[in-house]
Amino acid sequence: MKNFEKYAELLIHSGLNVKKGQLVIIKAPVEVYVFVQILCRKAYEAGASDVKVLYRDEHVLHQRYLYGQQEIFETIPSYETDFYNMTSEQGAAYLTLVGEDPDLMKDVDIHRITKRSKAFRQATKAYRHRLDFMECPWCIAAVSTKSWANKVYPGKDDAMNRLWQAIFKVSRIDEDWEDRKTYFASIVHTLNMMKIRTLHYKNSLGTDLTVSLPEGYRFAGGGSTLKNGLYYYPNIPTEEVFSAPYKYGVDGTLYSSMPLNYNGSLVQDFWFRFEKGKVIECHARKGKHVLESILDTDDGSRYLGELALVPYGSPIQRLQTLFYETLIDENASCHFALGQSYAECLENGLDLEEEALAQKGLNQSSVHVDFMVGTEDLQIDAYTESGEIIRIFEKGKYSNVFD
């Protein structure tokens, strides 16, 4: 149980950074209720005023998507949206534990899932705004469940334990996360001081992409800082530093380097072609219809909202394991995200409303879908305002300018 205690401590104190008197919301698969009990104790010990747990059963959810009336995916009842909008107004901290079967939803109409997701985001705009604009801490973390473990480690009698051990390892439960904070801060500072205009990505898969950054861009990474100064980690594990592209400044071809599992549907060997920021063509060996459903979500879903740098050779990549869970897989590789951008990726962005952010070139969308592009031979060159060309990634890793 020692590792479970360490992991819970990490999620409550570093992931959420719970403060005295704060309400904590935990969303979790029902299967991990024993670990949730540890989390609740840690939250109360940290000073939480109360802990609310929302359990979910993936099989019940699966049945709902298969057999539920169409209208329940298009309209969200007020009793559900009020919970999120009202608790966020109180400054609650939100911990979401993921660990669902990657294959469970493969027989579900993907449009039901995307409609539900879009409707929920629209109905909880107040909640989303408080999370996106750094008013409430939130953290997404992984837990081992039987169905997920059997997918990652098929045929292994100890699959669940193997997955737990992998989660502990990639989450760096034995490391000093203050040192991690310093590491990320150094990289972020170097990138922000470069005054980059564009980034050029190239690798042997076929990626040849130019990405412009908005004026006043900012890289962030590791953790994030709330408006009240509290530092927390939205994702555990995390290996990335990230920024937002200029919405209309992406041109070229971009190949995925790993499969994408989107709401239980697998997309493999896919690529996009961009012109003036917009996806004008996409292909996939498997799951093209899933990509198209994402791209057709709204006006912003065909544009990029995030670019993230992750050095090849991270602890996750070294495991040489596909986890079928974006939370972990994205931290094995440089990645991009279709859809919503983050206001913290623009100077003074947290003080601006969505319309002003859009005017400055930050994409707005109801989706945010990460996909991996990093490879062992990825090269990224930064073109600066002064006309200098600086290689920031060489052979899939940070170059010596970060030494």
Which pLDDT score is estimated for 262? 86
Q: State the pLDDT confidence band at 403, using cuts at 50, 70 and 90.
A: confident
Q: Contact, 402 vs 193, CB < 8 A?
A: no
How far, in whole angstroms, is CA 327 from its chain's centroid? 6
| DSSP tag of 12 | I
CATH code, domain with 163:
3.40.1830.10
Sequence-distant (6+) residues with CB within 8 A of 242 are 219, 220, 221, 306, 307, 308, 309, 342, 345
Which pLDDT score is estimated for 263? 77
pLDDT digits (tens, 9 = 90+) for 161-211: 999 999 999 999 999 999 999 999 999 999 999 999 999 999 999 999 999
The residues that bridge with 111 in the sheet, in sequence order, are none
pLDDT digits (tens, 9 = 90+) for 243-288: 999 999 999 999 999 999 887 788 999 999 999 999 999 999 999 9
Residues 352 and 233 placed together within one structural domain of the fold? yes
Domain that holds residue 114: 2-170
Reply yes or no: is the peptide bond before residue 237 cis, omega within 30 of 0.
yes
For residue 300, is pLDDT > 80? yes
Sequence-distant (6+) residues with CB within 8 A of 398 are 187, 309, 311, 392
Q: Contact, 244 vs 360, CB < 8 A?
A: no
Which pLDDT score is estimated for 144? 98
Which pLDDT score is estimated for 199? 98
Which pLDDT score is estimated for 164? 98
The residues that bridge with 304 in the sheet, in sequence order, are 338
Residues 160 and 287 placed together within one structural domain of the fold? no
The mean pLDDT value for 46-51 works out to 98
The mean pLDDT value for 110-129 works out to 91
Residues 213 and 289 placed together within one structural domain of the fold? yes
Residues 216 and 108 placed together within one structural domain of the fold? no
Residues 130 and 184 placed together within one structural domain of the fold? no
The mean pLDDT value for 116-141 works out to 94
Which pLDDT score is estimated for 205? 97
Residues 196 and 134 placed together within one structural domain of the fold? no
Number of domains in the chain: 2
The two beta strands, 265-275 and 250-255, are antiparallel
Residues 126 and 187 placed together within one structural domain of the fold? no
User: CA–CA separation, 338 vs 30, rounded Å?
Assistant: 30
Question: pTM for the full model?
Answer: 0.90
Residue where a domain stops, chosen among 170, 191, 225? 170
Q: Contact, 352 vs 218, CB < 8 A?
A: no
Residues 164 and 202 placed together within one structural domain of the fold? no
Dump the DSSP string for 227-267: TTS-EE-SEES---EEE---TT-EEEEEE-SS-EEETTEEE
Q: What percent of the chain has pLDDT over 70?
A: 100
Residues 250 and 159 placed together within one structural domain of the fold? no
Residues 285 and 323 placed together within one structural domain of the fold? yes
For residue 73, is pLDDT > 90? yes
The two beta strands, 93-98 and 220-221, are unpaired
For residue 38, is pLDDT > 90? yes
Q: What percent of the chain has pLDDT over 90?
A: 89
What does each C-alpha distance from 76 to 70, 84, 88, 143, 252 come to in angstroms?
A: 12, 12, 18, 27, 39
Residues 197 and 86 placed together within one structural domain of the fold? no
Residues 206 and 349 placed together within one structural domain of the fold? yes
User: CA–CA separation, 217 vs 327, rounded Å?
Assistant: 24
Q: State the pLDDT confidence band at 1, using cuts at 50, 70 and 90.
A: confident
pLDDT digits (tens, 9 = 90+) for 358-402: 999 999 998 999 999 999 999 999 999 999 999 999 999 999 999
Which pLDDT score is estimated for 118? 87
Region of poorest pLDDT, from 148-152, 320-324, 334-338: 320-324
